[in-house]
């Protein structure tokens, strides 16, 4: 056993967050529980279709845990006795095959506790008493993806347990899958953070994994969480461009063709740590904006600039952290039974006022450029969720920068974002053709035809009110013209509302603190420090087959 100091613990927490990525797939009729045992490296894939049924095992007794809440010490929720008809998972099922009527097995998560006493109707389970978690996942048709975590309890570390449970209960935005010629694979989340109609916005998602199939592109938009999703538009933007180039759309949908991306000549954190090796390429070696002694959560980038450059195109590979999702959920839970009323008041505000509050709380990733020795805000990148990295392009006017270098600053709240790579491109031109492709057919759950609803921005929404609602959308395609290649993007617009059933009185003392601009970041930092203080032992794990 290796005892880690706080600095070492933070590195291992960062390592954990890097590898706790989730990739989704359609299910077949097999599952497999893959065990990762003590002294194993935590390289985890596919650990959760959200909205799970949680089963708790204590000795010979079995319970169902609902309305779960987790903090740095306890997993709590409503507790009831389970029987053999409550769940499907059976350790004696050697071939791990299930019948279609038993498909709810894929929604089950099993917690195995040490010998402690819990009784209905409510339980508070110390995280140190969780000795194993078994998460049942579907088989994509290629690999099985289910895991049992047998290294929990005190050996695992509180932070890791919290993050695993957050993966099972997180809030998020509509999920987008693309057909890659063989199966549907998870591509990302759309219009993240638009949790009310006054936050409705456009989203331009790159679809690098999509492939044509008999003259068609196909995607799926699904609701897999406790929310109601309203999608007003789902069209494709198809860009033809030279084969030796890359194209990205900015937040307004304008294409930018990249021929020669240049890495930073200097990259530093607020504390002065050298980040060049972290940000020079896409490799899942990320910066988490979590320096606890820094006065802000900032990255400073310096790029060489050609003397004749008029514009630069900053390219970032980034996403939100799972920790940010956890912190936002903790904030919402403080409203208790007053949550619906608070959301109603928020929905009555103007969109401009809500966006101002979002900016004040540093939810976006803000991009600044230095001109005349002063930092000027260029743009704010809105949240995209924690499940998939997104490539962003931010156009920057550099014509009036006389220096031979361009200085960029990235800033956000404490541990709200993670950045994997940063580069700049001074190229111009390259776009040959841009085509907007409307849906040819959109078939939703219950044989609902959503084609017309997704054609235009007209508030005729495709509504997905329940977890499990899926719409498959087909688009007609044209091949790229000769000697060109094609990049595809999903242009969607919409919003979603979170379905929450919090109980109890609101914590007014705590909630009043959030009225102070920037308090969210302080709250995130202090909670992170609290968990680090509870980390007496942090283990490095090695992956085993």
How does pLDDT run across 352-394, given as a tens digit for each residue? 999 999 999 999 999 999 999 999 999 999 999 988 899 999 9
Smallest CA-to-CA distance from 531 within 160, 201, 170 is with 160
Of 491 and 283, the one with more pLDDT: 491
**For 11-20, 175-184, 322-331, which range has the lowest pLDDT when averaged over its residues?**
11-20
Q: Does 5 score more than 70 pLDDT? A: no
Confidence of residue 50 (pLDDT cuts 50, 70, 90): very low
Tell me what pLDDT residue 160 has.
Answer: 62
Start-to-end C-alpha separation, the chain: 21
Does residue 316 contact residue 392 with C-beta atoms inside 8 Å?
Answer: yes
Smallest CA-to-CA distance from 461 within 431, 501, 495 is with 495
Tell me what pLDDT residue 422 has.
Answer: 98
Structure tokens at 517: 């601009």
DSSP 174-221: -EEEEE-SSSEEEEEESSTT--SGGG-EEEEEE-TT---SSSEEEEEE
Does residue 270 contact residue 297 with C-beta atoms inside 8 Å?
Answer: yes
d(CA 503, CA 526): 25
On the CB side of 124, how many CA atoms lie within 13 Å of its CA? 4
CB atoms within 10 A of CB 172: 21
> Residue range 130-148: average pLDDT?
50
- The CATH T-level fold of domain 260-425 is Jelly Rolls (2.60.120)
Q: Distances from the Cα of 507 to the Cαs of 5, 198, 335, 338, 512, in angstroms?
A: 34, 26, 6, 10, 9
Would you state the torsion angle of the CA atoms of residues 446, 447, 449, 453, taken in this order, to the nearest 10 degrees? 20
For residue 121, say if its preceding peptide bond is cis, omega within 30 degrees of 0. Answer: yes
Tell me what pLDDT residue 168 has.
Answer: 62
What are the pLDDT digits (tens) for 334-344? 999 999 999 99
Q: Does 544 score more than 60 pLDDT? A: no
Of 473 and 137, the one with more pLDDT: 473
Of 269 and 326, the one with more pLDDT: 269
Q: Does 30 score more than 70 pLDDT? A: no
Q: Distances from the Cα of 544 to the Cαs of 2, 34, 35, 36, 533, in angstroms?
A: 19, 9, 8, 6, 30
Does residue 108 contact residue 52 with C-beta atoms inside 8 Å?
Answer: yes
Tell me what pLDDT residue 170 has.
Answer: 61
DSSP 135-153: E-----SS----EEE-S-H
Whole-model pTM: value is: 0.77
Confidence of residue 284 (pLDDT cuts 50, 70, 90): confident
**For 14-18, 74-78, 268-272, 412-416, which range has the lowest pLDDT when averaged over its residues?**
14-18
Residue 97 DSSP class: B
Confidence of residue 442 (pLDDT cuts 50, 70, 90): very high
Does residue 192 contact residue 205 with C-beta atoms inside 8 Å?
Answer: no
Q: Does 82 score more than 90 pLDDT? A: no
> Residue range 482-510: average pLDDT?
94
Of 69 and 11, the one with more pLDDT: 69
Tell me what percent of the residues of the chain surpass a pLDDT of 70.
76
> Residue range 329-336: average pLDDT?
94
Q: Does 93 score more than 50 pLDDT? A: no
Confidence of residue 158 (pLDDT cuts 50, 70, 90): low
Measured over the CA atoms of residue 85, residue 91, residue 93 and residue 96, the dihedral's sign is: positive
d(CA 267, CA 486): 32
- Domain spans in the chain, listed from the N-terminal domain onward: 6-169+529-533, 175-242+432-498, 260-425
Q: Who contacts 189 (Cβ-Cβ below 8 Å, separation ≥6)?
A: 172, 173, 174, 175, 176, 384, 385, 387, 388
d(CA 185, CA 219): 9
Hey, is 328 helix, strand or coil?
helix
d(CA 245, CA 483): 12
d(CA 389, CA 173): 14
**For 23-37, 329-343, 359-373, 404-418, which range has the lowest pLDDT when averaged over its residues?**
23-37
Q: Does 172 score more than 80 pLDDT? A: no
> Residue range 494-508: average pLDDT?
94
Tell me what pLDDT residue 435 has.
Answer: 96
Average pLDDT, the chain: 81
Q: Distances from the Cα of 30 to the Cαs of 27, 92, 313, in angstroms?
A: 8, 15, 46
d(CA 65, CA 334): 20
d(CA 72, CA 450): 43
Q: Who contacts 452 (Cβ-Cβ below 8 Å, separation ≥6)?
A: 460
What are the pLDDT digits (tens) for 237-259? 999 999 999 999 999 999 999 99
d(CA 413, CA 288): 10
Q: Does 453 score more than 60 pLDDT? A: yes
Tell me what pLDDT residue 86 has.
Answer: 58
Does residue 304 contact residue 402 with C-beta atoms inside 8 Å?
Answer: no
DSSP 149-166: E-S-HHHH-HHHHHHHHH
Tell me what pLDDT residue 96 has.
Answer: 39
Look at phi and psi of residue 19 and say left if phi exceeds 0, alpha if psi is from -120 to 50, else beta: alpha
Tell me what pLDDT residue 197 has.
Answer: 97
């Amino acid at each position: 056993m290796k005892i880690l100091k706080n600095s070492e613990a933070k590195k291992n927490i960062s390592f954990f967050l890097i590898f706790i990525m989730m990739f989704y797939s359609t299910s077949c009729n097999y599952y497999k529980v893959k065990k990762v045992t003590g002294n194993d490296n935590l390289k985890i894939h596919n650990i959760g279709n959200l909205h799970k049924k949680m089963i708790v095992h204590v000795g010979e007794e079995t319970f169902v845990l609902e309305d779960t809440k987790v903090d740095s010490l306890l997993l709590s929720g409503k507790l009831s006795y389970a029987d053999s008809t409550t769940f499907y998972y059976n350790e004696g099922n050697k071939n791990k095959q299930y019948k279609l009527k038993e498909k709810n097995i894929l929604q089950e998560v099993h917690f195995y506790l040490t010998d402690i006493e819990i009784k209905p109707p409510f339980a508070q389970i110390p995280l140190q008493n969780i000795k194993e978690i078994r998460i049942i996942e579907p088989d994509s048709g290629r690999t099985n993806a289910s895991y049992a975590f047998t290294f929990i309890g005190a050996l695992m570390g509180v932070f890791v347990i919290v993050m695993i449970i957050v993966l099972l209960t997180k809030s998020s935005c509509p999920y987008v899958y693309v057909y890659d010629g063989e199966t549907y694979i998870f591509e990302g989340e759309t219009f993240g953070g638009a949790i009310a109609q006054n936050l409705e916005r456009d989203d331009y998602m790159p679809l690098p994994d999509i492939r044509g199939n008999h003259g068609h592109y196909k995607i799926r938009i699904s609701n897999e969480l406790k929310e109601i999703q309203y999608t007003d538009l789902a069209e494709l933007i198809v860009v033809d461009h030279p084969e030796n180039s890359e194209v990205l759309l900015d937040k307004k949908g304008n294409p930018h063709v990249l021929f020669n991306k240049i890495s930073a000549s200097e990259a530093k954190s607020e504390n002065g740590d050298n980040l060049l090796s972290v940000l020079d390429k896409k490799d899942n070696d990320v910066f988490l904006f979590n320096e606890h002694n820094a006065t802000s959560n900032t990255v400073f980038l310096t790029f060489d600039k050609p003397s004749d450059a008029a514009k630069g195109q900053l390219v970032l590979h980034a996403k939100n952290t799972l920790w940010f999702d956890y912190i936002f959920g903790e904030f919402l839970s403080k409203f208790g039974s007053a949550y619906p009323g608070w959301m109603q008041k928020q929905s009555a505000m103007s969109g401009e006022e809500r966006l101002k509050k979002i900016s004040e709380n540093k939810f976006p990733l803000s991009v600044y450029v230095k001109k005349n020795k002063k930092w000027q805000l260029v743009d704010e990148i809105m949240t995209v969720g924690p499940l998939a990295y997104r490539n962003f392009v931010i156009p920057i006017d550099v014509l009036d920068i006389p220096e031979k270098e361009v200085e960029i600053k990235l800033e956000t709240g404490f541990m709200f974002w993670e950045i994997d790579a940063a580069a700049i491109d001074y190229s111009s031109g390259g776009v040959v053709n841009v085509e907007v492709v409307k849906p040819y057919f959109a078939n939703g759950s219950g044989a609902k035809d959503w084609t017309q609803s997704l054609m235009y921005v007209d508030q005729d929404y495709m509504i997905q009110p329940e977890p499990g609602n899926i719409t498959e959308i087909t688009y007609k395609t044209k091949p790229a013209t000769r000697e060109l290649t094609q990049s595809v993007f999903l242009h969607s617009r919409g919003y979603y509302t979170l379905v929450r059933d919090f109980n109890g009185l609101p914590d007014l003392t705590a909630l009043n603190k959030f009225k102070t601009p920037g308090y969210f970041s302080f709250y995130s930092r202090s909670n992170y420090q609290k968990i680090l203080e509870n980390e007496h032992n942090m283990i490095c794990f090695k992956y085993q087959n």
